[in-house]
Amino acid sequence: MKFLNINKCLLLSLFFFVISNSHAANHENQIHVIKPGDINYLPVHKDKMWQNIKEAAIKYQQYAPLPRVAFFDITYPKDKKEYEELGGHGVLLVTAISQLKEELPIKDVYVTIQNSKVKLEKIGFKISFIPEKPKVVIATVGKYREDSIYLFPMYLRAQSGHLTIDFSKNRAGFILSEFPYEQDELPIKQPAKKGPSKEALNKIIKREIPIFEDLKL
């Protein structure tokens, strides 16, 4: 389940587009700077967002330059057993790209429910640069990129609200998606107070979000 949000200058309209879950077809290398400053060269075929970024840049190049764009992907537990091991959590991946370096990293990610905010806990992030080729990508969506992952309390998918991010500067209240989602077979209850098992969390991240496979919680 993925959505792309485009924010064009002072336009008030929000555009939501369903985009595919395909991996990149090529194998160019991309530099990721991993906190606290190590440099890691990761093959793009591990980057589940890269193909979507390229496709969006080509599709919306007529609106270039876009000030910022953001993608997201929610990884659900694969079954009830993993749901329990994760304490009722999934993992949210947010990929944000900006024309301006100072807008990243993302300041906050949260779900708005009526007049309240449920802030999501960031568990890892990578700052990177968009490759120079194809040129249309930087020209349309910008050069600066952040990928970050968050604990996602699964009960939120059944609430009436919005998944929202605040950039470090210039843009707050940037809506990524609207809840509720369609019902599934997993329980709908608030997460266990003890939180997710670190072993289960490391396992789902390595399995589903391979650009963070080096992360050890």
Query: pLDDT digits over 135-179, tens only?
Result: 999 999 999 999 999 999 999 999 999 999 999 999 999 999 999
Q: What is the pLDDT along the chain (217 residues), one digit of tens a residue?
A: 444 444 332 222 223 332 222 222 222 233 333 333 333 434 556 788 998 899 999 999 999 999 999 999 999 999 999 999 999 999 999 999 999 999 999 999 999 998 899 999 999 999 999 988 899 999 999 999 999 999 999 999 999 999 999 999 999 999 999 999 888 888 888 876 778 999 999 999 999 999 998 888 8
Alpha helices by DSSP H, 67-210: 80-85, 135-141, 198-208
pLDDT at residue number 187? 86
Cα angle 138-140-146, degrees, rounded to a multiple of 5: 55
Spatial neighbors of 89 by CB under 8 A, at least 6 apart, are 77, 151, 152, 153, 154, 191, 195, 196, 201
pLDDT at residue number 149? 96
Q: What distance in Å separates the CA atoms of residue 145 and residue 103, rounded to the nearest whole number?
A: 10
Pairing of strands 174-179, 161-166: antiparallel
pLDDT at residue number 213? 87
pLDDT at residue number 45? 61
- CB distance 203 to 215 below 8 Å: no
Chain-centre distance of CA 85, in angstroms?
22
Predicted TM-score (pTM) of the model is 0.81
Cis peptide before 210 (omega within 30 of 0): no
3-class secondary structure, 180: coil
Q: What distance in Å separates the CA atoms of residue 102 and residue 100, rounded to the nearest whole number?
A: 6
Q: What distance in Å separates the CA atoms of residue 48 and residue 3, rounded to the nearest whole number?
A: 13
